[in-house]
């Protein structure tokens, strides 16, 4: 019987992994919580919206369609849409068992399934990171990811006019999505000064030739902004949102390179909605539950650690895409192809695999450039006031966090969290985890913002039902 590879996530990395494993001769189960494959990059309106056509913003759409059709139409591929992996369970031998909730979230046919693969590829991607500032919890303040998901996936605009602020190239596709969906974008603010952005992007210029596609894509967004006369300003950020019951004004200010505010440069802008992003946080919970080692030092900047063939530290578990580093969709797809080839038992000496490794390394260089051009300045906590909410689920304020860290819970991040409940609410620190870890650095040790044994919500009733075993799984479990 051929090797069974389970791939979690059907974004660029997961689709690549499925293709790689199929090419190596494996049987693949491709699992994604979403209705359609494509992940964040190739997000489309649901099928119920009628025959959807990719917009101008769906770069590399043809290539995506070819990959999708090749994978999903393959006789050895079993595609599980609307299937959330809620946990992985370490096994005595071999890779962890994969626990899946299969079927529409509130649908009657939803069932628990357990997969016991010969190899597991984790490709769950990232979510966008937002730093807190006074008023960020007001209705009308959106993460850029949510604003883009609504524009790209539901054809809805979050408001009109909109101000977009934060850091990173992601500001540009978000602005483009909002413009295409019909909103007026007042301005796009990049917090890093022009010199930092220019120095970062100019790093290792000889590699730029290999990233012509990405450069062309960014140039396309810049052209769209110019046509709509949307200013792109560097060294400026939103440091406060104000309004009576919902956002009405954004306070912007010039920043030094460390993101401290230049006094006297504050400006108030009337807005209908505000859209913010400060980078991405990898979805590491499944990797952590599987026991994979992380790299990256500080817990709030960690990624899954992988070798040259995308193997994690756990035998039989591979990782690809944004959970190994933020480098864009082409890098994610190439990592996926490599991970799938290795997971499917492909020959590591294969010439195509060697070419993929070289392509992956070049694409990864983009990650270094991105990190250098758009760092998060260390002085951002200066925007906070004692009453600024840091954990929105539990309404823990910055002041409460500092009092606990400097007082009764001194030294222990775990004690600070138990004392203030920061990160213990419904989102289980997905939003505030990296922020709290950053704010406590130097004040308290311990705690892992990625430790979340239950990766997706599951009802007690669903948990009480025994899982359904696949016949082929039962065979291999014997």
Ligand X SMILES: Cc1cc2nc3c(=O)[nH]c(=O)nc-3n(C[C@H](O)[C@H](O)[C@H](O)COP(=O)(O)OP(=O)(O)OC[C@H]3O[C@@H](n4cnc5c(N)ncnc54)[C@H](O)[C@@H]3O)c2cc1C
Contacts with ligand X, residue ranges (CB under 6 A)? 8-14, 31-34, 39-41, 84-85, 123-128, 145, 148, 170, 173, 280, 283, 321-322, 328-329, 332, 455-456
Closer to ligand X at the Cβ: 39 or 96?
39
Closer to ligand X at the Cβ: 124 or 375?
124
Beta bridge partners, 381, equal none
Strand 389-391 to 303-304 pairing: unpaired
Task: Give the nearest distance from C-beta 58 to ligand X in angstroms.
Answer: 9
Q: Mention every residue, 6+ apart, whose C-beta is less than 8 A from residue 270.
A: 248, 249
Gap between the Cα atoms of 56 and 50, Å rounded: 18
Closer to ligand X at the Cβ: 164 or 416?
164
3 state DSSP class of 185: strand
Closer to ligand X at the Cβ: 100 or 299?
100
Q: Mention every residue, 6+ apart, whose C-beta is less than 8 A from residue 464.
A: none
Gap between the Cα atoms of 352 and 293, Å rounded: 28
Closer to ligand X at the Cβ: 286 or 416?
286
Task: Give the nearest distance from C-beta 437 to ligand X in angstroms.
Answer: 19
Closer to ligand X at the Cβ: 326 or 393?
326
Task: Give the nearest distance from C-beta 128 to ligand X in angstroms.
Answer: 5
Task: Give the nearest distance from C-beta 145 to ligand X in angstroms.
Answer: 3
Gap between the Cα atoms of 228 and 272, Å rounded: 18
Which candidate, 182, 178, 190, places its Cα nearest to that of 146? 178
Task: Give the nearest distance from C-beta 252 to ligand X in angstroms.
Answer: 23
Closer to ligand X at the Cβ: 280 or 383?
280
- Residue 221, class by beta-carbon neighbours within 10 Å (0-12 exposed, 13-18 middle, 19+ buried)? buried
Task: Give the nearest distance from C-beta 349 to ligand X in angstroms.
Answer: 27
Task: Give the nearest distance from C-beta 126 to ligand X in angstroms.
Answer: 5
Closer to ligand X at the Cβ: 125 or 447?
125
Q: Mention every residue, 6+ apart, whose C-beta is less than 8 A from residue 445.
A: 411, 412, 413
Per the document, the length of the chain is 478
Task: Give the nearest distance from C-beta 144 to ligand X in angstroms.
Answer: 7
Strands (E), 12-73: 27-31
Q: State residue 253 phi and psi, 5-degree precision.
A: -150, 155
Gap between the Cα atoms of 269 and 188, Å rounded: 13
Task: Give the nearest distance from C-beta 257 to ligand X in angstroms.
Answer: 25
- DSSP of 417-437, one letter per residue? HHHH-TT-STTTTTTTHHHHH
Closer to ligand X at the Cβ: 122 or 413?
122
Task: Give the nearest distance from C-beta 221 to ligand X in angstroms.
Answer: 9
- The conformation of residue 311, written as its DSSP 8-state character, comes to B
Which candidate, 309, 313, 363, 315, places its Cα nearest to that of 340? 309
Gap between the Cα atoms of 24 and 7, Å rounded: 14
Closer to ligand X at the Cβ: 77 or 126?
126
Task: Give the nearest distance from C-beta 124 to ligand X in angstroms.
Answer: 3
- DSSP of 248-288, one letter per residue? -EEEEEEB-TTS-B-TT--EEEE-SEEEEE--EEE--HHHH
Closer to ligand X at the Cβ: 31 or 299?
31
Gap between the Cα atoms of 121 and 340, Å rounded: 7
Task: Give the nearest distance from C-beta 369 to ligand X in angstroms.
Answer: 14
Q: Mention every residue, 6+ apart, whose C-beta is less than 8 A from residue 143.
A: 128, 130, 275, 276, 277
Which candidate, 352, 435, 351, 394, places its Cα nearest to that of 128? 435
Closer to ligand X at the Cβ: 9 or 377?
9
């Amino acid at each position: 019987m051929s090797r069974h590879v389970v791939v979690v996530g059907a974004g660029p990395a997961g689709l690549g992994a499925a293709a790689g494993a199929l090419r190596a001769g494996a049987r693949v189960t491709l699992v994604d919580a979403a209705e359609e494959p494509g992940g964040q990059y190739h997000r489309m309106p649901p099928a119920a919206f009628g025959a959807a056509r990719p917009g101008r913003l769906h770069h590399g759409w043809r290539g995506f369609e070819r990959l999708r059709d090749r994978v999903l139409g393959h006789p050895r591929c079993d595609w599980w849409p609307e299937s959330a992996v809620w946990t992985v369970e370490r096994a005595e031998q071999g890779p962890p068992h994969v626990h899946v909730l299969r079927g529409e979230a509130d649908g009657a046919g939803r069932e628990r399934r357990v997969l016991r693969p010969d190899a597991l590829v984790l490709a769950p991607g990232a979510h966008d990171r937002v730093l807190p500032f006074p008023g960020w919890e007001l209705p009308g303040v959106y993460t850029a990811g949510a604003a883009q998901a609504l524009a790209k996936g539901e054809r809805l605009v979050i408001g009109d006019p909109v101000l977009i602020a934060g850091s990173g190239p992601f500001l540009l596709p978000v602005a483009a999505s909002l413009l295409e969906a019909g909103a007026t974008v007042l301005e796009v603010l990049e917090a890093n000064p022009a010199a930092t952005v220019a120095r970062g992007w100019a790093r290792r210029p000889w590699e730029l030739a290999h990233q012509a596609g990405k450069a062309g894509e960014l140039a396309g967004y810049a052209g769209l902004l110019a046509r709509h006369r949307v200013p792109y300003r560097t060294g400026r950020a939103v440091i406060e949102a104000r309004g009576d019951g919902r956002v009405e004004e954004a306070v912007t200010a010039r920043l030094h390179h460390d993101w401290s505010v230049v006094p006297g440069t504050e400006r108030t802008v009337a807005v209908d909605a505000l859209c913010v992003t400060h980078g991405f946080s990898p979805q590491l919970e499944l990797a952590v539950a599987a026991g994979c080692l992380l790299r990256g030092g500080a817990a709030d900047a960690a990624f899954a650690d992988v070798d040259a063939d995308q193997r994690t530290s756990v035998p039989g578990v591979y990782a690809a895409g944004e959970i190994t580093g933020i480098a864009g969709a082409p890098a994610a797809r190439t990592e996926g192809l490599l991970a799938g080839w290795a997971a499917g038992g492909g020959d590591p000496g294969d010439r195509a695999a060697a070419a993929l490794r070289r392509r992956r390394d070049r694409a990864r260089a983009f990650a270094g450039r991105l990190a250098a051009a758009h760092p998060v300045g260390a002085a951002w906590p200066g925007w906070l006031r004692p009453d600024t909410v840091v954990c929105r689920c539990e309404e823990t304020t910055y002041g409460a966090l500092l009092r606990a860290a400097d007082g009764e819970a001194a030294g222990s991040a775990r004690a600070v969290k138990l004392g203030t409940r920061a990160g213990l609410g419904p989102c289980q620190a997905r939003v505030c985890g990296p922020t709290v870890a950053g704010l406590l650095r130097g004040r308290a040790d311990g705690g892992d913002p990625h430790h979340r044994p239950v990766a997706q919500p599951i009802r007690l009733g669903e948990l009480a039902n025994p899982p359904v075993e696949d016949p082929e799984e039962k065979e291999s479990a014997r």
